[in-house]
């Protein structure tokens, strides 16, 4: 079994140092885009990430 560790990942906050936004593997500009197919489409994962952030802001 292998695992992937992205050199662009800022583990504090799960952000992408390359794209200066949240890490969503496969998003446009990500080193993994066009190399892999994901079970959940990237657009759907970005929407889920955005709604998580909205919920977090409302609670703060
Ligand atoms: S979005 Fe892609 S390039 Fe950026 S940290 Fe995540 S896996 Fe790495």
Query: In the predicted model, is pLDDT for residue 28 greater than 80?
Result: yes
Which atom of ligand 1 is nearest to 6's Cα?
8
Report the distance separating Cα 37 and Cα 52, nearest Å. 23
What pTM value is reported for the model? 0.83
CA 45 / ligand 1 centre spacing (Å): 13
Ligand 1 pocket mutation pick from 3, 7, 9 by most atoms within 8 angstroms of CB = 9
pLDDT tens-digit series, residues 29-55? 999 988 889 999 999 999 999 998 888
Query: What DSSP state is assigned to residue 15?
Result: E
Query: In the predicted model, is pLDDT for residue 24 greater than 90?
Result: yes
For residues 33 and 8, the model is more confident at 8
For position 40, what pLDDT does the model report?
95
For position 46, what pLDDT does the model report?
95
Closest-CA residue, ligand 1 atom 3, reads 30
E strand intervals along the chain: 9-10, 15-16, 21-22
């Amino acid at each position: 079994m292998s695992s992937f560790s992205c050199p662009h990942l800022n583990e504090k906050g799960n952000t992408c140092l390359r794209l200066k936004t949240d890490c969503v593997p496969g998003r446009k500009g990500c080193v993994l885009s066009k190399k892999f197919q994901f079970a959940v489409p990237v657009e759907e994962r970005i929407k889920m990430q955005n709604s998580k952030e909205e919920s977090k802001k409302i609670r703060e």
